[in-house]
Structure 1
C-alpha cells in the first residue's frame, strides 16, 4: 500500500524525511520538481561531507557523516559497456529523465546507488550540481586517478570551475610526463593539493629550466609532491605554497644548505611556514648546517634524529628537523618550520 507522505502535516513530513538516508532522499527528489522543492526546504543535512573519486572506469560520489567517517553511502557512475539490470528504475538528473539506476549492497554493507549511463562525465557534473543545490554538502576530497585516462583537461576544467574549494584535491595513478606537467600547470585549488601521480618518464630538458611549474597556482595552500625527482632548486623557488612536502627529490646536502642560507638571509616575512624535503639516502647534517649559526634543541619530536634552530634576518625563528620516515623504501629528510 502506498504511503501518502505529502498529504500529512508539514511537520510530520519533515520528521519522516529526516529519518531517510541521503541516497533515498536524492532518489525522492528526482521524482518531481515539487518533491525536490519540498526536500530542499524541509531537510537540512548538517553532519555529512561529500567525496568524489574519479577513475578511467567509474566516478564515485561518497557521502560520510562527520561523526562517523567509517559509515558511508555511495553513488557509482559506470563508464564503458555494461549490462543494464532488468529491475532498474529511472532517475531524472539535470536535463536527463530516464537514467537507469539500481540500489545494490557493497561487500561491506555500504548502501550503493549504481547509475548506468554512457555519458558518465556529463551526468556526474549534473549530479554534483543537484546534490549541492539540495543538500549543500561541503566537499571534503576530490581524488583523480589518471592511470589509463587519455586526456586530463575535462577533469581539470571541472575541478577548476566547480570543485576547487574541496578541502583536498588529490592526484593519483601513473601518466606520461606531458600529462604530468599539464596537471601541475593547470590544476587549481583553494586548499590542499596532493600530487601523488607517478610520471612514467622524466624530462631530458635543461634541468635549470623552471618552465615546468611556473604557472603552478598554489599560493596560500598546502602542497605535497610524492615523486619530486624532477624538481630543481629554481623550480622549488617558483612554488609559493605556505606548506610544502617534497618526496624523492635529488637535492644534495650542499643544495639543502643553500636553501637554509636563503631562509636565514631573507629580511622579508615569507609566506612559507613549513618545508619538508625527503630523499632516499642518509644526509650529512654538518654539510647541511655549514655556515648557519644554529642552536641544538634538546627536546625533539617523536622519531626525529636531531633538531636545531636559528634566527632569520627577518627576526623570525627557523627550526630544522632531521628524521628518518616510514615509507615503502627507507627515506630520510629535513623539515624546516618558519615562525612556528
Structure 2
C-alpha cells in the first residue's frame, strides 16, 4: 500500500531492496500500461520539497511524539484492500467506473443521490477573505457542467463554521472522484484506492458508534478517548481521513494548475507540480515512482476537458470560459474544506497520535 508519512518531511528511504511483488496494493500494476512502463529506480534526492500544507511546521518540529510501529502491509491485517466502487443512482457514473471488474457493493451502503431540483438556486456562501473573492464566488451561479455544480454544493455542505461533517465529506469526495475520471487511467486507479478509504471511513460513520463520527473533531476526540486513534488493524477513522485529506489537497492543486495550460499541453506539468508540492514529501521512492509513471500517461488539457460531456451524458456544450470559471469556483471551495480540516487535525494534535507512516 501507499505509505504516507504524516510527521516528517524527510521520508525514510529504507526500502531500497523492497520486492515490489510483496506490496499488496499492486492495483497500480494490474493496469498493464503502468506495469510495463514502471522501472523500479532509486529515487533521486529532491531538495526543497517542503509541502505548503498548513500545520506541517508544527508536525515537523515535534521531536517528542511517540514512535509507533509501521503498519503491516499484509492483506490479512486490513479491511481496506477490497475496492468498493459506489457510483449511486445520480446519473453521474462514468464509463471508466462501469468497466472496473472488482465491484463489491456493501449491503448497507446507501445510494448517493443528487437532488434534481434546488441545486441551481442554492445560495453560495461567503468564502475566506484571505484566499477568495467572496462576491465573485457568490455571483458564480452559472457553474457548469452539472457535476461541477454538484461538487461545489456538496463541498459547501460538508464544511460549515469550521466544522467538517464527515457524511457530507464522503459524499462530496465521491462526486469529485467521478469527475477526475476524465483524466484517464492514472486518475481511475488512484480513485479506486481512495474509494476503498472512503468505504472504510463510512463503516465507522454507520456503525454503532456513528454518533461520534458526525464531524471530524468529534471523531478525533472519540477515537483518542477510547484508544482507537492510533489503531492500524483496522485503521482508525482519523488515519483514514488524514490520507483522504492529503489527496484532496493534491486534487485541488491539480485542478488549479490545469487552468492556465494551453489546450494542446499535456497535464503532466500540472499534476507533477501538485504531486511535488503535496504528496512527494510523504512518499518513499517506490510509491513516488508509480505516481510519476502514472502522471506521465495523462492526456492533454483539451482531451481531458472534452471528457466532461461524456460524464454528463447529454453532450453538454459548456464553453471553455464557463468551464474554467466553474473549475475555479470548485477549487476555491475545496480549499475551504482542506483548510478547515487541517486546522482541526493540527489543533487536536491528531497528526502526532496516529502512526508515523500510514496507509494511503
Scaled by the length of structure 1, what TM-score is found?
0.21
Which entry has the higher C-alpha Rg, 1 or 2?
A: 1
More helix per residue: 2
Higher relative contact order (CA 8 A, sep 6+): 2
Scaled by the length of structure 2, what TM-score is found?
0.20
